[in-house]
Chains A and B, each alone.
With several copies, the nearest count.
Chain A
């Protein structure tokens, strides 16, 4: 059998617009008409045809996944033109100008100062489409991928987070469209995949969320995050001409070929067959070994740069590394170790095989670096070198298969200009009578899928390997608001991880959905004692080429930015995943906000379980008639219209005052109010601590008159419940003077939750019954 020549060209120069688009489709490039035209013109000017390797490189580098066209493009909404990334997300950070932001939006992860010479790196990624077709492998490689983002900033991964969105588990099989897997199947294999990867690598999974909504049936969302520790002095980014391009880790196969273009298109019925190569299983032990090797090279300062091989494989990583250094690179593709023979050069070049990293290594250090990897039984192969001149040249057995201008590759992609449309949905506030006894409603909400206990899932994740998890996901037998870690053995300083997510509000207004997500992430962090908070955004929306979807995206981006600015919390990194659509339509606009705070002394961290009888319970923040998208309305069959807003100036100062009180040692327990409002938060605090509670709804600070059920279940933002010892209450009240705060009840000996309004009893329930309801589902 004679193999075809290495160098194959694709005639483009003579093609018209329609033919260009056909070529893009046939080759699964996911490039638009305009982009193809730009490439054609570039090669016309160069006086030659592109090679297949070159064309594939453009398809990878210019994919939505790699270049974030929508976020970096121009969008027009109601006559206003906005560049989402610059004007919203990054805008917040540049306005705040905080000195502790060490590296933002630049690298594979955002970095903030921690203690002394140490920085924390944080990144959250999505792995949605792979998880839809191969939930175990998709989720596992999602975890593996984000861990490599941390390794890709010389970070030592120290904790994982996972936020998962699925269709309802009780969906009747008959309602499943062809080619779509049942939410139960997806749920159980995604959870297994996340656990398998994190557990095997010895990284604790400490924080997350699970959310159910019908819109995720055809397109589940899997957000994976990793926190890392980086000594700032070892954060090497200093490639020099002559440095070796070192490929480290597993062998390269056809897997993941066209992964990013797959991620940048909608899912369809036949995604399963078409994209079989986009599916991978992952090998955490391989990555564990790579991690050891990299940490050793880092410690000895032997490398000059590092990055992961993620979307686009070598084609993205090598070019990016050279481009950042203002250099070019020369790669000998046949040196790449392959899993099997017969791969075309372009396949090797863009393969997304897992568990691989790219290092730049000065020649003088190369032997030592190779030895350290060999010691860990990790393959490391020099495949080329960095060179002066800003060209990316790829040879295959001596034959040139690509010669690209890096400036054009990274800056030549035509900016997209799109129109967005936003029309608020027509919704109404419902009217229904209030039940005399709120107990039934409370039990139903506690047992509803989005509130019920996640213990069954959480326990399948190792959340305490490394012996540094100070507040665990289930702390004191209740659902914690945030995880607290102690990253360094010789310091009590802690890192605090939390998140905010509420797609239900997105059905009413993505602006307030996003604002609420920021507020929730920040208040969860505050609830345990976290401060100096940095944020990550992860947008998962439908096809942005549709004006309505884009309108939602713009509103969400504005909502989270306005709120983040008001809270003084910068964004340091993030990601957007668009085209989350299936034959069932787009996903509900979903924004995950992940928050990273610090706490000066982990021994001062506060958990949510009530600590004992005879203490006071305070509610912080104002309760409003804001039940649109609430769980209470949901169990009554309504969506409503009054979506919770954020009044961030009130909120910021309130949170700061609370932190002050915590640092004074005045807070025994604290829990954030979110899904299910005061009712759910109070019940959770009570059964978590096995301490009874008596509340008077008449004392809750309100904005205007409200019916008792609404007071009890409103999901207004920026509110928390706080337990304070009787003797500390004067000091506590002094610390919070000037804020919306009220003592609304006390903890008692009886193992009951009793809710009154004045003399009238509205609810009386045993803690066991509440706990059983919460634990029943999932």
Chain B
């Protein structure tokens, strides 16, 4: 199976990465850009259920206090 996990900052939590990217784009002359936010994607391959991936997010990939995550089955989800 192949799962896609996407981890992003919760609303209100500072996304310095997005902010510095915005600054960089302005400096490069991309004046039209108004905002940038970022997220991290993990593609997880293996023999695991959606429940496992939930658990993986909670235990390692995301902190529910400051981050949101979404899980998407890409291949072979059998639920």
Contacts and interface: CB of A to CB of B under 8 A. Distances in A.
B37 interface: no
Nearest to A136: B63
Contacts of B10: 276
Interface stretch (B13-21, B40-48, B71-79): B13-21
A184 B16 CA distance: 20
Given A277-B12, A281-B16, A185 B59 contact: yes
Contacts of A133: 65
A137 B66 contact: yes
Interface in A22-63: none
B53 to A, nearest CB: 17
B14 A279 contact: no
A263 to B, nearest CB: 16
A700 to B, nearest CB: 42
A255 interface: yes
A280 B63 contact: no
Nearest to B29: A173
Given A133-B65, A276-B65, A281 B60 contact: no
A182 B56 CA distance: 13
Contact of B63 (A134, A184, A254, A277): A134
6 contacts: A134-B63, A182-B59, A189-B63, A279-B65, A281-B16, A340-B12
B66 A281 contact: yes
A340 B12 CA distance: 9
Contact of B14 (A135, A255, A277): A255
Interface core residue of A136, A189, A283, A285 (most chain B CB under 10 Å): A283
Interface string B3-26: 000000110111010001000000
A184 to B, nearest CB: 8
Given A189-B63, A280-B14, A281-B16, 16 more contacts: A133-B65, A134-B63, A134-B65, A134-B66, A136-B63, A185-B59, A255-B13, A255-B14, A272-B65, A276-B10, A276-B66, A279-B65, A279-B66, A280-B13, A283-B16, A286-B16
A272 B58 CA distance: 13
Interface string A239-272: 0000000000000011100000000000000001
B interface bracket (residues with beta carbon within 8 Å of A): 10 to 19
A285 B63 contact: no
Nearest to A188: B24
B65 A283 contact: no
B12 A255 contact: yes
A281 B14 contact: yes
Contacts of A282: 14
A272 B64 contact: yes
A283 B66 contact: no
B19 to A, nearest CB: 8
Interface in A271-324: 272, 276-277, 279-283, 285-286
Shortest 7 CB-CB distances between A and B: which pairs? Answer: A283-B16, A134-B65, A133-B65, A281-B14, A134-B66, A279-B65, A272-B65
B20 A285 contact: yes
A131 to B, nearest CB: 11
B63 A253 contact: no
A773 B42 CA distance: 35
Contacts of B60: 185
